[in-house]
Structure 1
Amino acid sequence: MIGSETINGYLARLAARQPTPGGGAAAALHAAQGAALVAMVARYTTGTKYEQHASLVERIAEASDGLIVEALHLADADEHAFQSVIDSYKLPSGTEELDAARSAGIQAALVQAAQVPGRLIGVAGAVVDLATELFDVANANVISDVAAAADAARAAATTARVNIDINLIAIKDNAVRTRLAGETDGLADTVVAAADKLAARVRERILA
Protein backbone atom coordinates (compact mmCIF):
# COMPACT_ATOMS: atom_id res chain seq x y z
CA MET A 1 0.00 0.00 0.00
CA ILE A 2 1.28 3.43 -0.93
CA GLY A 3 0.35 4.86 2.45
CA SER A 4 2.77 2.52 4.22
CA GLU A 5 5.69 3.04 1.82
CA THR A 6 8.63 5.30 2.46
CA ILE A 7 8.76 8.38 0.25
CA ASN A 8 11.95 7.10 -1.39
CA GLY A 9 10.40 3.71 -2.02
CA TYR A 10 7.30 5.21 -3.62
CA LEU A 11 9.32 7.61 -5.77
CA ALA A 12 11.60 4.80 -6.91
CA ARG A 13 8.57 2.82 -8.06
CA LEU A 14 7.07 5.91 -9.70
CA ALA A 15 10.31 6.56 -11.60
CA ALA A 16 10.78 2.94 -12.68
CA ARG A 17 9.97 1.60 -16.14
CA GLN A 18 6.74 0.03 -14.95
CA PRO A 19 3.11 1.03 -15.51
CA THR A 20 2.10 1.42 -11.87
CA PRO A 21 2.08 3.59 -9.87
CA GLY A 22 1.51 6.38 -12.37
CA GLY A 23 -0.15 9.73 -12.71
CA GLY A 24 -3.35 8.63 -11.01
CA ALA A 25 -1.56 7.62 -7.82
CA ALA A 26 0.49 10.81 -7.95
CA ALA A 27 -2.71 12.83 -8.26
CA ALA A 28 -4.15 11.13 -5.19
CA LEU A 29 -1.02 11.98 -3.23
CA HIS A 30 -1.39 15.61 -4.31
CA ALA A 31 -4.84 15.55 -2.73
CA ALA A 32 -3.53 13.84 0.41
CA GLN A 33 -0.85 16.48 0.81
CA GLY A 34 -3.39 19.24 0.29
CA ALA A 35 -5.60 17.78 3.00
CA ALA A 36 -2.63 17.40 5.33
CA LEU A 37 -1.70 21.04 4.83
CA VAL A 38 -5.24 22.13 5.68
CA ALA A 39 -5.13 20.00 8.82
CA MET A 40 -1.78 21.51 9.80
CA VAL A 41 -3.01 25.09 9.36
CA ALA A 42 -6.10 24.24 11.41
CA ARG A 43 -3.97 22.89 14.24
CA TYR A 44 -1.94 26.10 14.26
CA THR A 45 -5.19 28.04 14.51
CA THR A 46 -5.86 27.11 18.13
CA GLY A 47 -5.50 28.63 21.56
CA THR A 48 -7.00 31.66 23.26
CA LYS A 49 -6.58 33.92 20.24
CA TYR A 50 -8.75 31.65 18.09
CA GLU A 51 -11.09 30.36 20.79
CA GLN A 52 -14.22 31.74 19.14
CA HIS A 53 -13.46 29.63 16.05
CA ALA A 54 -12.58 26.46 17.95
CA SER A 55 -15.51 24.35 16.73
CA LEU A 56 -14.96 25.33 13.10
CA VAL A 57 -11.23 24.66 13.29
CA GLU A 58 -11.72 21.31 15.01
CA ARG A 59 -14.24 20.21 12.38
CA ILE A 60 -11.92 21.23 9.55
CA ALA A 61 -8.96 19.40 11.10
CA GLU A 62 -10.97 16.20 11.57
CA ALA A 63 -12.48 16.38 8.08
CA SER A 64 -9.03 16.95 6.58
CA ASP A 65 -7.67 13.92 8.41
CA GLY A 66 -10.46 11.89 6.85
CA LEU A 67 -9.62 13.17 3.39
CA ILE A 68 -6.00 12.12 3.82
CA VAL A 69 -7.16 8.56 4.45
CA GLU A 70 -9.56 8.68 1.52
CA ALA A 71 -6.95 10.08 -0.86
CA LEU A 72 -4.42 7.41 0.09
CA HIS A 73 -7.08 4.75 -0.45
CA LEU A 74 -7.69 6.19 -3.92
CA ALA A 75 -3.95 6.12 -4.66
CA ASP A 76 -4.00 2.37 -4.07
CA ALA A 77 -7.30 1.98 -5.90
CA ASP A 78 -5.94 3.78 -8.95
CA GLU A 79 -2.86 1.59 -9.02
CA HIS A 80 -4.98 -1.55 -8.78
CA ALA A 81 -7.48 -0.32 -11.36
CA PHE A 82 -4.81 0.46 -13.94
CA GLN A 83 -3.11 -2.87 -13.28
CA SER A 84 -6.47 -4.53 -13.98
CA VAL A 85 -6.60 -2.76 -17.34
CA ILE A 86 -3.13 -4.02 -18.17
CA ASP A 87 -4.01 -7.55 -17.07
CA SER A 88 -7.21 -7.54 -19.10
CA TYR A 89 -5.26 -6.85 -22.28
CA LYS A 90 -3.22 -9.98 -21.54
CA LEU A 91 -6.28 -12.22 -21.45
CA PRO A 92 -6.22 -15.07 -23.99
CA SER A 93 -7.74 -14.56 -27.40
CA GLY A 94 -8.01 -16.40 -30.69
CA THR A 95 -11.52 -17.82 -30.58
CA GLU A 96 -14.84 -16.03 -30.70
CA GLU A 97 -15.55 -16.93 -27.08
CA LEU A 98 -12.11 -15.90 -25.84
CA ASP A 99 -12.19 -12.67 -27.82
CA ALA A 100 -15.60 -11.77 -26.38
CA ALA A 101 -14.44 -12.50 -22.83
CA ARG A 102 -11.25 -10.49 -23.33
CA SER A 103 -13.17 -7.52 -24.77
CA ALA A 104 -15.67 -7.58 -21.92
CA GLY A 105 -12.84 -7.74 -19.40
CA ILE A 106 -11.06 -4.80 -20.96
CA GLN A 107 -14.20 -2.68 -21.02
CA ALA A 108 -15.06 -3.48 -17.39
CA ALA A 109 -11.53 -2.61 -16.31
CA LEU A 110 -11.63 0.68 -18.22
CA VAL A 111 -14.89 1.66 -16.54
CA GLN A 112 -13.39 1.02 -13.12
CA ALA A 113 -10.25 2.92 -14.07
CA ALA A 114 -12.36 5.93 -15.07
CA GLN A 115 -14.38 5.88 -11.85
CA VAL A 116 -11.42 6.17 -9.46
CA PRO A 117 -10.18 9.56 -10.71
CA GLY A 118 -13.78 10.76 -10.72
CA ARG A 119 -13.91 10.11 -6.99
CA LEU A 120 -10.56 11.85 -6.59
CA ILE A 121 -11.91 15.05 -8.10
CA GLY A 122 -14.53 15.02 -5.37
CA VAL A 123 -11.82 14.67 -2.71
CA ALA A 124 -9.83 17.50 -4.27
CA GLY A 125 -12.90 19.70 -4.23
CA ALA A 126 -13.48 18.90 -0.57
CA VAL A 127 -9.90 19.92 0.23
CA VAL A 128 -10.39 23.29 -1.47
CA ASP A 129 -13.72 23.79 0.29
CA LEU A 130 -12.15 23.17 3.71
CA ALA A 131 -9.19 25.41 2.92
CA THR A 132 -11.59 28.16 1.85
CA GLU A 133 -13.57 27.82 5.08
CA LEU A 134 -10.37 28.06 7.09
CA PHE A 135 -8.91 31.03 5.23
CA ASP A 136 -10.72 33.82 7.04
CA VAL A 137 -9.76 32.60 10.51
CA ALA A 138 -6.42 30.92 9.81
CA ASN A 139 -3.25 31.74 11.70
CA ALA A 140 -1.51 34.34 9.55
CA ASN A 141 1.87 32.75 10.20
CA VAL A 142 0.92 29.71 8.14
CA ILE A 143 -1.50 31.32 5.69
CA SER A 144 0.77 30.52 2.73
CA ASP A 145 0.08 26.84 3.41
CA VAL A 146 -3.58 27.44 2.63
CA ALA A 147 -2.52 28.39 -0.89
CA ALA A 148 -0.19 25.39 -1.01
CA ALA A 149 -3.12 23.16 -0.09
CA ALA A 150 -5.29 24.72 -2.79
CA ASP A 151 -2.60 24.27 -5.42
CA ALA A 152 -2.05 20.64 -4.42
CA ALA A 153 -5.78 19.96 -4.72
CA ARG A 154 -5.82 21.76 -8.06
CA ALA A 155 -3.09 19.47 -9.38
CA ALA A 156 -5.01 16.45 -8.15
CA ALA A 157 -8.18 17.55 -9.95
CA THR A 158 -6.55 18.40 -13.29
CA THR A 159 -4.53 15.19 -13.34
CA ALA A 160 -7.60 13.16 -12.46
CA ARG A 161 -9.50 14.81 -15.32
CA VAL A 162 -6.84 13.75 -17.83
CA ASN A 163 -6.93 10.21 -16.49
CA ILE A 164 -10.69 10.11 -16.88
CA ASP A 165 -10.37 11.31 -20.47
CA ILE A 166 -7.80 8.71 -21.48
CA ASN A 167 -9.96 5.89 -20.12
CA LEU A 168 -13.20 7.20 -21.57
CA ILE A 169 -11.91 7.34 -25.14
CA ALA A 170 -11.20 3.59 -24.99
CA ILE A 171 -14.69 2.67 -23.75
CA LYS A 172 -16.77 1.46 -26.67
CA ASP A 173 -20.22 1.65 -25.14
CA ASN A 174 -21.45 5.17 -25.92
CA ALA A 175 -24.08 5.09 -23.19
CA VAL A 176 -21.54 4.11 -20.55
CA ARG A 177 -19.06 6.68 -21.82
CA THR A 178 -21.70 9.41 -21.74
CA ARG A 179 -22.81 8.43 -18.23
CA LEU A 180 -19.28 8.47 -16.86
CA ALA A 181 -18.48 11.76 -18.54
CA GLY A 182 -21.68 13.28 -17.19
CA GLU A 183 -20.71 12.35 -13.64
CA THR A 184 -17.52 14.42 -13.79
CA ASP A 185 -18.05 17.04 -16.52
CA GLY A 186 -17.29 20.46 -15.14
CA LEU A 187 -16.26 19.22 -11.70
CA ALA A 188 -12.55 19.61 -12.29
CA ASP A 189 -13.10 23.09 -13.71
CA THR A 190 -15.05 24.02 -10.60
CA VAL A 191 -12.22 22.80 -8.36
CA VAL A 192 -9.62 24.63 -10.43
CA ALA A 193 -11.56 27.88 -10.32
CA ALA A 194 -12.06 27.63 -6.55
CA ALA A 195 -8.40 26.75 -5.97
CA ASP A 196 -7.18 29.62 -8.13
CA LYS A 197 -9.49 32.06 -6.36
CA LEU A 198 -8.30 30.93 -2.94
CA ALA A 199 -4.61 31.07 -3.88
CA ALA A 200 -5.13 34.61 -5.18
CA ARG A 201 -6.84 35.63 -1.92
CA VAL A 202 -3.92 34.25 0.06
CA ARG A 203 -1.43 36.24 -2.00
CA GLU A 204 -3.50 39.39 -1.60
CA ARG A 205 -3.56 38.88 2.16
CA ILE A 206 0.19 38.29 2.30
CA LEU A 207 1.01 41.30 0.15
CA ALA A 208 -1.52 43.70 1.70
Structure 2
Amino acid sequence: MQSWSIDEYLDRLAAHHPTPASSHVAALNLAQGAALLTMVARVRADRAEGDVARSVIARAGHVREAALRLAEADAAVVDEVAAAFALARSTEAERARRAAAIADALLVAAGPPAELVTVGAELVELCERMAEVASGALLGDVAAAADVAAAALSISRTNVEADIGPRRGTPEAERLVAVIASVEDLLVRAVTVRDGIRARLGGS
Protein backbone atom coordinates (compact mmCIF):
# COMPACT_ATOMS: atom_id res chain seq x y z
CA MET A 1 0.00 0.00 0.00
CA GLN A 2 2.77 2.44 0.84
CA SER A 3 4.08 2.29 -2.73
CA TRP A 4 0.71 3.20 -4.27
CA SER A 5 0.00 6.63 -5.73
CA ILE A 6 -2.95 8.52 -4.29
CA ASP A 7 -4.98 7.80 -7.43
CA GLU A 8 -4.12 4.09 -7.25
CA TYR A 9 -5.11 3.93 -3.60
CA LEU A 10 -8.45 5.62 -4.28
CA ASP A 11 -9.13 3.37 -7.27
CA ARG A 12 -8.45 0.30 -5.13
CA LEU A 13 -10.61 1.69 -2.33
CA ALA A 14 -13.46 2.05 -4.83
CA ALA A 15 -12.94 -1.39 -6.40
CA HIS A 16 -15.10 -4.48 -5.81
CA HIS A 17 -12.57 -5.96 -3.39
CA PRO A 18 -12.47 -6.20 0.44
CA THR A 19 -9.12 -4.40 0.77
CA PRO A 20 -8.33 -1.62 1.19
CA ALA A 21 -11.40 -0.60 3.14
CA SER A 22 -12.40 1.38 6.21
CA SER A 23 -9.56 0.17 8.45
CA HIS A 24 -7.11 1.50 5.87
CA VAL A 25 -8.95 4.82 5.89
CA ALA A 26 -8.61 4.93 9.69
CA ALA A 27 -4.93 4.00 9.57
CA LEU A 28 -4.13 6.62 6.95
CA ASN A 29 -5.99 9.24 8.97
CA LEU A 30 -3.73 8.47 11.92
CA ALA A 31 -0.61 8.51 9.75
CA GLN A 32 -1.61 11.86 8.24
CA GLY A 33 -2.39 13.32 11.65
CA ALA A 34 1.01 12.19 12.91
CA ALA A 35 2.70 13.75 9.88
CA LEU A 36 0.90 17.05 10.46
CA LEU A 37 2.00 17.13 14.10
CA THR A 38 5.55 16.34 13.05
CA MET A 39 5.54 19.34 10.73
CA VAL A 40 4.20 21.62 13.47
CA ALA A 41 6.70 20.26 15.99
CA ARG A 42 9.62 20.81 13.60
CA VAL A 43 8.63 24.43 13.20
CA ARG A 44 8.58 24.83 16.98
CA ALA A 45 11.69 22.73 17.71
CA ASP A 46 14.04 25.73 17.92
CA ARG A 47 11.79 27.73 20.23
CA ALA A 48 11.62 27.76 24.02
CA GLU A 49 9.27 24.77 23.92
CA GLY A 50 11.76 22.77 21.83
CA ASP A 51 11.92 19.87 24.28
CA VAL A 52 8.20 19.25 23.92
CA ALA A 53 8.42 19.58 20.14
CA ARG A 54 11.31 17.15 19.83
CA SER A 55 9.49 14.61 21.99
CA VAL A 56 6.41 14.93 19.79
CA ILE A 57 8.50 14.44 16.64
CA ALA A 58 9.83 11.13 17.94
CA ARG A 59 6.49 9.84 19.20
CA ALA A 60 4.57 10.99 16.12
CA GLY A 61 7.02 9.04 13.99
CA HIS A 62 6.15 5.90 15.93
CA VAL A 63 2.43 6.60 15.52
CA ARG A 64 2.86 6.96 11.77
CA GLU A 65 4.82 3.73 11.48
CA ALA A 66 2.39 1.81 13.69
CA ALA A 67 -0.63 3.02 11.74
CA LEU A 68 0.85 1.96 8.40
CA ARG A 69 1.92 -1.40 9.83
CA LEU A 70 -1.62 -2.03 11.04
CA ALA A 71 -3.03 -1.15 7.62
CA GLU A 72 -0.89 -3.92 6.14
CA ALA A 73 -1.87 -6.30 8.95
CA ASP A 74 -5.53 -5.59 8.30
CA ALA A 75 -5.16 -6.51 4.63
CA ALA A 76 -3.71 -9.88 5.60
CA VAL A 77 -6.50 -10.80 8.03
CA VAL A 78 -9.24 -9.60 5.67
CA ASP A 79 -7.86 -12.03 3.08
CA GLU A 80 -8.49 -14.78 5.64
CA VAL A 81 -12.07 -13.57 6.05
CA ALA A 82 -12.54 -13.67 2.28
CA ALA A 83 -11.18 -17.23 2.22
CA ALA A 84 -13.69 -18.25 4.90
CA PHE A 85 -16.56 -16.78 2.90
CA ALA A 86 -15.37 -18.80 -0.13
CA LEU A 87 -15.73 -22.14 1.67
CA ALA A 88 -18.21 -24.67 0.37
CA ARG A 89 -21.80 -24.46 1.63
CA SER A 90 -23.65 -27.19 -0.22
CA THR A 91 -24.54 -29.27 2.83
CA GLU A 92 -25.67 -28.43 6.35
CA ALA A 93 -22.30 -29.58 7.72
CA GLU A 94 -20.42 -27.44 5.21
CA ARG A 95 -22.57 -24.42 6.07
CA ALA A 96 -21.88 -24.91 9.76
CA ARG A 97 -18.12 -25.16 9.16
CA ARG A 98 -18.23 -22.09 6.92
CA ALA A 99 -20.17 -20.04 9.49
CA ALA A 100 -17.70 -21.00 12.23
CA ALA A 101 -14.72 -20.19 10.00
CA ILE A 102 -16.19 -16.79 9.12
CA ALA A 103 -16.86 -15.97 12.77
CA ASP A 104 -13.34 -16.98 13.77
CA ALA A 105 -11.75 -15.03 10.91
CA LEU A 106 -13.79 -11.93 11.70
CA LEU A 107 -12.71 -12.09 15.33
CA VAL A 108 -9.08 -12.11 14.21
CA ALA A 109 -9.85 -9.28 11.80
CA ALA A 110 -11.02 -7.16 14.75
CA GLY A 111 -7.45 -7.15 16.04
CA PRO A 112 -5.91 -4.45 13.80
CA PRO A 113 -8.71 -1.89 14.27
CA ALA A 114 -8.58 -2.49 18.02
CA GLU A 115 -4.85 -1.77 17.94
CA LEU A 116 -5.56 1.36 15.92
CA VAL A 117 -7.56 2.61 18.92
CA THR A 118 -4.39 2.41 21.02
CA VAL A 119 -2.43 4.24 18.32
CA GLY A 120 -5.19 6.84 18.08
CA ALA A 121 -5.04 7.42 21.82
CA GLU A 122 -1.39 8.37 21.54
CA LEU A 123 -2.13 10.73 18.66
CA VAL A 124 -4.81 12.49 20.71
CA GLU A 125 -2.31 12.95 23.54
CA LEU A 126 0.23 14.40 21.12
CA CYS A 127 -2.41 16.80 19.80
CA GLU A 128 -3.04 17.96 23.36
CA ARG A 129 0.66 18.59 23.89
CA MET A 130 1.13 20.51 20.64
CA ALA A 131 -2.00 22.58 21.24
CA GLU A 132 -0.22 23.96 24.31
CA VAL A 133 2.86 25.15 22.42
CA ALA A 134 1.71 25.91 18.87
CA SER A 135 0.43 29.32 17.81
CA GLY A 136 -0.98 31.16 14.85
CA ALA A 137 -1.80 29.28 11.68
CA LEU A 138 -0.04 26.18 13.01
CA LEU A 139 -2.91 25.72 15.43
CA GLY A 140 -5.12 24.89 12.45
CA ASP A 141 -2.86 21.95 11.64
CA VAL A 142 -3.04 20.70 15.22
CA ALA A 143 -6.84 20.95 15.07
CA ALA A 144 -6.83 19.01 11.80
CA ALA A 145 -4.72 16.30 13.41
CA ALA A 146 -7.24 16.09 16.26
CA ASP A 147 -10.12 15.81 13.79
CA VAL A 148 -8.54 13.00 11.79
CA ALA A 149 -7.63 11.21 15.02
CA ALA A 150 -11.29 11.37 16.05
CA ALA A 151 -12.41 10.03 12.68
CA ALA A 152 -9.95 7.16 12.88
CA LEU A 153 -11.02 6.26 16.41
CA SER A 154 -14.71 6.27 15.50
CA ILE A 155 -14.11 4.15 12.39
CA SER A 156 -12.00 1.66 14.32
CA ARG A 157 -14.55 1.28 17.10
CA THR A 158 -17.31 0.53 14.61
CA ASN A 159 -15.11 -1.96 12.75
CA VAL A 160 -14.38 -3.85 15.95
CA GLU A 161 -18.07 -3.92 16.87
CA ALA A 162 -18.95 -5.27 13.42
CA ASP A 163 -16.23 -7.92 13.37
CA ILE A 164 -16.86 -9.40 16.82
CA GLY A 165 -20.60 -9.76 16.23
CA PRO A 166 -20.70 -13.55 15.66
CA ARG A 167 -18.40 -14.16 18.65
CA ARG A 168 -19.69 -11.48 21.02
CA GLY A 169 -19.61 -12.71 24.60
CA THR A 170 -16.50 -14.83 24.18
CA PRO A 171 -13.42 -13.90 26.23
CA GLU A 172 -11.50 -12.64 23.20
CA ALA A 173 -14.43 -10.56 21.95
CA GLU A 174 -14.91 -9.04 25.40
CA ARG A 175 -11.21 -8.19 25.55
CA LEU A 176 -11.64 -6.23 22.33
CA VAL A 177 -14.76 -4.56 23.72
CA ALA A 178 -12.66 -3.40 26.67
CA VAL A 179 -10.09 -1.90 24.28
CA ILE A 180 -12.66 0.18 22.45
CA ALA A 181 -14.35 1.31 25.67
CA SER A 182 -11.88 4.20 25.80
CA VAL A 183 -13.00 5.62 22.45
CA GLU A 184 -15.81 7.84 23.77
CA ASP A 185 -13.45 9.62 26.15
CA LEU A 186 -10.82 9.95 23.42
CA LEU A 187 -13.38 11.51 21.08
CA VAL A 188 -14.27 14.07 23.75
CA ARG A 189 -10.58 14.88 24.22
CA ALA A 190 -10.04 15.29 20.48
CA VAL A 191 -13.05 17.60 20.15
CA THR A 192 -11.83 19.58 23.17
CA VAL A 193 -8.51 20.17 21.42
CA ARG A 194 -10.24 21.27 18.23
CA ASP A 195 -12.79 23.51 19.94
CA GLY A 196 -10.17 25.00 22.24
CA ILE A 197 -8.07 25.94 19.22
CA ARG A 198 -11.08 27.45 17.43
CA ALA A 199 -11.82 29.56 20.50
CA ARG A 200 -8.23 30.81 20.58
CA LEU A 201 -8.45 31.67 16.91
CA GLY A 202 -11.67 33.62 17.41
CA GLY A 203 -14.04 30.99 16.05
CA SER A 204 -17.50 30.42 17.43
**Fold conserved (TM > 0.5)?**
yes
Task: Look up the match of 2:151.
Answer: 155
Q: Choose from 120, 128, 134 the match for 2:130.
A: 134
Question: Can you give the 5+ residue segments of structure 1 that lack an aligned partner in the other structure?
Answer: none
- The answer on whether the counterparts of 2:28 and 2:67 sit within 8 Å (CA) in structure 1 is yes
Partner residue in 2 for 1:35: 34
2:199 maps to 204
Cα deviations by residue, 1:148-167 (Å, 9 ceiling, x for unpaired):
00000000000011101111
Pairs aligned (count): 203
User: Percent identity of the aligned residues?
Assistant: 33
Residue type at the aligned position of 2:52: L
- Say which is worse superposed, 150-159 or 92-101, in terms of deviation: 92-101
| Cα distance in 1 between the residues matched to 2:192 and 2:163 | 30
Please name the residue that 1:17 is paired with.
16
Structure 2 residue 186 is the aligned partner of structure 1 residue 191:
yes
Q: Distance in 2 between matches of 1:113 and 1:125?
A: 20
More displaced stretch, 4-13 vs 96-105? 96-105
Q: What is aligned with 2:43?
A: 44
TM-score by length of 1: 0.89
Unaligned runs of 5+ in 2: none
The answer (yes or no) to whether the contact 1:117–1:164 under 8 Å persists in 2 is yes
2:2 and 2:34 map into 1 onto residues whose CA distance is 14
TM-score, structure 2 normalization:
0.90
Deviations 1:135-185 (A, max 9, x none): 111142311000000000000000011101111112266333323212322
Distance 2:127 2:158 in 1: 24
CA distance in 2, matches of 1:173, 1:97: 24
Kept in 1: contact 2:31–2:64 (CA 8 A): yes
Q: Call closer, same or farther: CA 1:179–1:46 in 2, change over 3 Å.
A: closer
3-state DSSP class of the match of 2:176?
helix
